[in-house]
Chains A and B, each alone.
Chain A
Amino acid sequence: MVSLHVLVVSLALFVRILVGYQHHSGEDNYHGSKRAYGGDYEAQRHWMELTWHLPIGDWYWYDLQYWGLDYPPLTAYVSYVCGALSEWLVGPGTVALFKSRRYEGDPTHKAFMRATVWVLDALIYFPAVFFILKVLWQLKRQESSSTNEFLIAVLVALLQPSIILIDHGHFQYNTVALGLSLWSLFFIAHPSFFLSCIYGSVFFSLALNFKQMTLYYAPVIFAYLLGRCLAFNNGSKIPLWQQGLERFAALGGTVIITFVQLWWPFLLYGPRDNLSLVEDGSRNALRTMLQRGTHVLRRIFPLERGLFEGKVSNLWCALDTKPINIRDRIPADVQPLAALAATFLLMMPSCIALFLIGRASEQRKEAATRQHAADLKSLLWGCTSCAFAFFLASFQVHEKSILLALAPASLLVWEDVVFCDWMAVVATWTMWPLLVVDRLQLPYVCTLIIFATAITQLRTTPLLQTITMKPTDGDWVAWCWKILCQLSLAAMLVLHALEMVVPVPSHLPDLFPVLWSIGGCALCCLAWLRTVGSLLTEGRSALQKPKND
């Protein structure tokens, strides 16, 4: 069935390439910021330009006012390679230092930029989705089920409208970070600890170093790995504390080595003198290195930007509407703490559950593949839940961060198909205000229709069929879930209709973005509850396991 594998990959790429023909963020400086030209597209192009031409010490210091580099080192290295390719394949004009600013309108260059995204997507995200679903398929498959069902699940997961719209329309490299994170989940969940968890933590360190936003997964992954370190292992003669120490040291060492490899140039090399911003002439090498390091960190985590930016579908933004105005009631210096506390509260269920699952994971007497699948499934639920916790309550959240919750959730088709499809729609819908700014309304409709076609025409249990079917009488949770799904889909459509029909009142210019933010927040809370629900079940079964043996 090689041909069908090729077909799935090419179809997924086809839609990406089609979306690539649309406007990118900040094209013609449409709705661009006043400070710097364009948007994420120009930023990424600019990073290619500066990394390709400047010595590595200057990367985080060069002209910070014009799209200064503010992503972690791995992104910078990737930009360097892309810059070289851009000069070689498209022409030196595309990345000429300073002169290439606002380089736009060349279809070949745009196609090149788009290609860098989909090539990385296809190399990292596609295989991660493929292999994770292949593992989960072990739990699901029956004698009668054909491989097609698996391939269809892969295709549907690769057609997620929100991921396609942000990466291939708006222009970002989220699939690289998401793909690396999924790879790390794939390895971490493997029953054999040493090799797998170490591979997994290498991948997760790479993900963190590509995009700091993957920190949303960190608590869950940490909790699970901690659980694995302290895993009950009846067969082994090593005492638990020794096992825990060994494993923890191995993991810590791996993470540190990976980080050092990626970071050392930025610690050893500072900016050249003509660009120098700090370096107070101190002779203390360690202190200089520390200064350089904190500078890069401050670039990556700009805490001074405020509780939230724009209109995001999270708690803070929703609570900032007229009667409550939470941003004015809490003092600015307490805000980060409040955000931290709320996030901590919301992420607890996933962390506790995954810790317990991690501890119990090596005790089961199952086939390795089934064990791998069971843990992988729990990790996906946990990552979704934790990412939602951050998205809803943490500091400085961006609309696009919902992708972090969506990516693991999109692989849970065989766990809860309704949740999975519903999430895809919700995530896309919450991005509507952003997509309007990017002039991606038409691709929004088109990718949603293509996705809907895929789930209704290809799958044997399509969304429509599932939400119209009758749950069994006693199962009130299923009833509520079904009704909520239908209601929320209707509400999303109604808001779209209202926005088209009702003119915005002059004293409420942000009416619709605010409605979007409140509605989106409610839907995300609902989704978070759903993940907590399934984590409860998973955690409980993990607790029961030891007693059985």
Chain B
Amino acid sequence: MPSTSIPALPNTPSWSSMTVLFLAFSCCKILLMPSYRSTDFDVHRNWLAITRHLPIKEWYHDDVNGTTVHTLDYPPSFAYWEYLLSNNPVTQYLIHDAELLDERCLQLLPDSDNTPSEACVIFHRSTVICSDMVLWWGAWVMATSSSTPSQVLFLGQFPASFLLTVFHPGLLWLDHVHFQYNGMLFGIFLASLGYLMKVNNSSTTEREFHKHHWKAAVLFALLLTMKHLFLTLGPFYFVYLLRRYCLEPPPSKQSSSQNTPQNSTKTIQLYPLHLITLSVYTGTTLLVPFLPFLRQMPQLLKRLFPFGRGLVHDYWAANVWALYSFVDKVSGLAHGPSLLDVPASVCALLLLLSLLPGLYFGAWKAAEEHDNMKLITAVVYSALCSFMLGFHVHEKAILNAIIPLLFLVCNNSKNTASLRVLCFQMTSLGLLGIFPLLFRPAELALKLVSYAAYMALCYHVLLERMDMSRQRLVVELLPLVAVVVGLVMLLEFVPIRFYGKLEFLPLLCTSVGCAVGLILCWIRLSLWMVGVIIG
């Protein structure tokens, strides 16, 4: 229970509390093992089989003689992770000595006959639960990276942002129900951001200045070779590291009034040694995983970027293209000829264009002013752009924006009310947009209850103690609540047979409703980033 939100300066890491909390939340995840699992479970099971039974050169070719669609389509480092899971002493022990896990669990199976045993599900789900340790580490690094006081919560004075991240229901639904390893990827991502932020503390030594930047770059490069979804954050990293690390002296070489942005902005000077070391570190991390696949790059790229899939996913993620498709559909009903098809290249171009302001007002300025808040703003903005304009975006990509946003709000001592409201709105709409992912009625209660619990916690942390007029709160939140309640009713409580021929209507309303809301948030964030503060 949140006791007080008195800012405590040093967050005292209580390892026993952390372990107990991790254990308790892992118990919740264990209890979710029998719940719904998507075909992503089969996908990852198949990847285990591929990495266990096939030589490395066949990894990106194999499709079990055309009997499976669950082919490997993540970058190589993720394949190595699967290799690690399928070929380690523990797995060997479970299969051969203890006979707890059946051999069939890790075999190449056709899609028609791949029902896993109970032991297989437990084994597979446990790997996700354990890999969440990375998430906790990353969230901890990020939450404690700033020397500015952060809001703390109950439970041994943990930073609020840390708890809001590790208990994020989006990750719970995606990883522990739907089945993926997002927690681990987010851990790496947040740790990388955390190291970037650590450098901006006033007490940073020269050694730390180098080490933290290298760590951040290496972690991000590693992340890219695990999941290329994060590629859209590449420009941000490039600009930020260039300005912060390569065009700026390390702390000790600065003038006596060190770390005052005013002084450092005056001279922009290239430090070639910095550039070279950073490039070597990043380049190595990026390239080494690809080495075994150099000869099959075209095949690998074809798997990684399946552009044939179309502009929008089956269920439209709540982005600009959802609105576009909606208009398309409506005009199609009215006139016949529909709007233009949007090719992937146009998407990419639009995306790059939209990233540009973030790169200048966010990344460059953040590096120039050593401002962690601008840094996170840039990250959130970039992630939001790629969610809004990307090609064939999955609804879960919104997490890339709403999770870092938590750190922007909770770690900010002088933040404005509008930012907190923005975070609350984006979190509620973003999570609502993920609802259709767990479509079975059996998960309805789980979704609603975890959503209610999390939004209540968010409300307590973000808004309850704010000096905000009741009128303002009503204006900001009432439309949101109305939209959320309305959409939940449409989506979950009206029996599908009532829609008749319009059975797509609830999903369509959800994506369009969330899209409108999120686009408004996007605009608001952009304005905030370029310095226009509303409210």
Which residues of A approach B to under 8 Å, CB–CB? Answer: 1, 3-4, 6-8, 10-11, 13-15, 17-19, 21-22, 107-108, 110-111, 114-115, 118, 146, 148, 151-152, 155, 442-443, 445-447, 449-450, 452-453, 456-458
Contact yes or no, A458 B30, CB < 8 A: no
Complex Cα distance, B449 from A13, in Å, reads: 7
Q: Taking the nearest CB of chain A, how far is it from the CB of B130, in angstroms?
A: 16
Complex Cα distance, B1 from A456, in Å, reads: 12
Q: Of B23, B445, B452, B457, which is in contact with the most chain A CB atoms at under 10 Å from its CB?
A: B445
Q: Write out the residue numbers on chain B whose beta carbons fall within 8 Å of the beta carbon of A146.
A: 3-4
Contact yes or no, B24 A17, CB < 8 A: no
Complex Cα distance, B453 from A8, in Å, reads: 8
Q: Taking the nearest CB of chain A, how far is it from the CB of B178, in angstroms?
A: 15
B343 at the binding interface (Cβ < 8 Å): no
Complex Cα distance, B1 from A231, in Å, reads: 42
Contact yes or no, A151 B442, CB < 8 A: no
Q: Taking the nearest CB of chain A, how far is it from the CB of B448, in angstroms?
A: 9
Contact yes or no, A457 B27, CB < 8 A: no
Interface residues on B, range: 35 or more
B234 at the binding interface (Cβ < 8 Å): no
Output the nearest chain B residue to A458 by Cβ-Cβ distance: B1
Contact yes or no, B442 A3, CB < 8 A: no
Q: Write out the residue numbers on chain B whose beta carbons fall within 8 Å of the beta carbon of A445.
A: 27
Complex Cα distance, B1 from A155, in Å, reads: 9
Contact yes or no, B31 A446, CB < 8 A: yes
Contact of B30 among A8, A148, A442 (CB under 8 A): A442
Q: Write out the residue numbers on chain A whose beta carbons fall within 8 Å of the beta carbon of B449.
A: 10, 13-14, 17
> Which 4 residue pairs across A and B have the least CB separation, nearest first?
A10-B453, A446-B27, A453-B24, A18-B31
B261 at the binding interface (Cβ < 8 Å): no
Q: Write out the residue numbers on chain B whose beta carbons fall within 8 Å of the beta carbon of A114.
A: 445
Contact yes or no, B456 A111, CB < 8 A: no
Q: Taking the nearest CB of chain B, how far is it from the CB of A152, in angstroms?
A: 5
B68 at the binding interface (Cβ < 8 Å): no
B441 at the binding interface (Cβ < 8 Å): yes
Output the nearest chain A residue to B451 by Cβ-Cβ distance: A10
Contacts A111-B445, A151-B1 given; does A7 touch B27 at CB 8 Å: no
A10-B449, A14-B450, A111-B445 known, 17 other contacts, Cβ within 8 Å: A7-B453, A10-B452, A13-B445, A17-B446, A18-B28, A18-B31, A110-B442, A115-B445, A442-B30, A442-B31, A443-B31, A446-B31, A447-B27, A450-B27, A453-B24, A457-B24, A457-B155
Complex Cα distance, B453 from A3, in Å, reads: 9
Complex Cα distance, B35 from A18, in Å, reads: 9
Contacts A17-B445, A18-B31 given; does A4 touch B24 at CB 8 Å: no
Contact of A457 among B17, B457, B459, B460 (CB under 8 A): B17
Complex Cα distance, B35 from A17, in Å, reads: 11
Q: Taking the nearest CB of chain B, how far is it from the CB of A126, in angstroms?
A: 13
Contact of B32 among A18, A111, A453, A456 (CB under 8 A): A18
Contact yes or no, B28 A446, CB < 8 A: yes
Output the nearest chain A residue to B154 by Cβ-Cβ distance: A458
Q: Taking the nearest CB of chain A, how far is it from the CB of B174, in angstroms?
A: 17
Contacts A10-B453, A10-B456, A151-B1 given; does A21 touch B35 at CB 8 Å: yes
Contact yes or no, A108 B441, CB < 8 A: yes
Q: Of B3, B449, B450, which is in contact with the most chain A CB atoms at under 10 Å from its CB?
A: B449
Complex Cα distance, B440 from A142, in Å, reads: 48
Contact yes or no, A7 B460, CB < 8 A: yes
Contacts A108-B440, A453-B24 given; does A4 touch B460 at CB 8 Å: yes
Contact of A11 among B33, B155, B453 (CB under 8 A): B453
Output the nearest chain B residue to A451 by Cβ-Cβ distance: B24
Q: Taking the nearest CB of chain A, how far is it from the CB of B14, in angstroms?
A: 10
Output the nearest chain A residue to B28 by Cβ-Cβ distance: A18
Q: Write out the residue numbers on chain A whose beta carbons fall within 8 Å of the beta carbon of B156.
A: 457
Complex Cα distance, B446 from A19, in Å, reads: 11
Q: Write out the residue numbers on chain B whose beta carbons fall within 8 Å of the beta carbon of A15.
A: 28
Contacts A21-B35, A148-B2, A456-B20 given; does A4 touch B456 at CB 8 Å: yes
Q: Write out the residue numbers on chain A whose beta carbons fall within 8 Å of the beta carbon of B457.
A: 3, 7
Q: Of A19, A21, A108, which is in contact with the most chain B CB atoms at under 10 Å from its CB?
A: A21
For window 78-123 of chain B, which residues contact chain A by CB distance below 8 Å?
none
Q: Taking the nearest CB of chain A, how far is it from the CB of B140, in angstroms?
A: 17
Contact yes or no, A453 B20, CB < 8 A: yes
Output the nearest chain B residue to A442 by Cβ-Cβ distance: B30
For window 404-456 of chain B, which residues contact chain A by CB distance below 8 Å?
440-442, 444-446, 449-450, 452-453, 456
Contact yes or no, B1 A107, CB < 8 A: no
Complex Cα distance, B455 from A7, in Å, reads: 8
Q: Write out the residue numbers on chain A whose beta carbons fall within 8 Å of the beta carbon of B450.
A: 10, 14
Q: Taking the nearest CB of chain A, how far is it from the CB of B300, in angstroms?
A: 38
Jot down 10 A-B pairs with beta carbons below 8 A, ordered by A: A3-B459, A4-B460, A10-B450, A10-B456, A13-B445, A14-B446, A111-B444, A148-B2, A450-B27, A452-B24
Contact of B442 among A4, A13, A18, A107 (CB under 8 A): A107
Contact yes or no, B28 A14, CB < 8 A: yes
Q: Write out the residue numbers on chain A whose beta carbons fall within 8 Å of the beta carbon of B456.
A: 3-4, 6-7, 10
Complex Cα distance, B29 from A442, in Å, reads: 12
Complex Cα distance, B34 from A7, in Å, reads: 25
Complex Cα distance, B448 from A111, in Å, reads: 14
B21 at the binding interface (Cβ < 8 Å): yes
B464 at the binding interface (Cβ < 8 Å): yes
Q: Taking the nearest CB of chain A, how far is it from the CB of B440, in angstroms?
A: 6
Complex Cα distance, B464 from A1, in Å, reads: 8
Q: Write out the residue numbers on chain B whose beta carbons fall within 8 Å of the beta carbon of A442.
A: 30-31
Contact yes or no, A450 B24, CB < 8 A: yes
Output the nearest chain B residue to A8 by Cβ-Cβ distance: B1
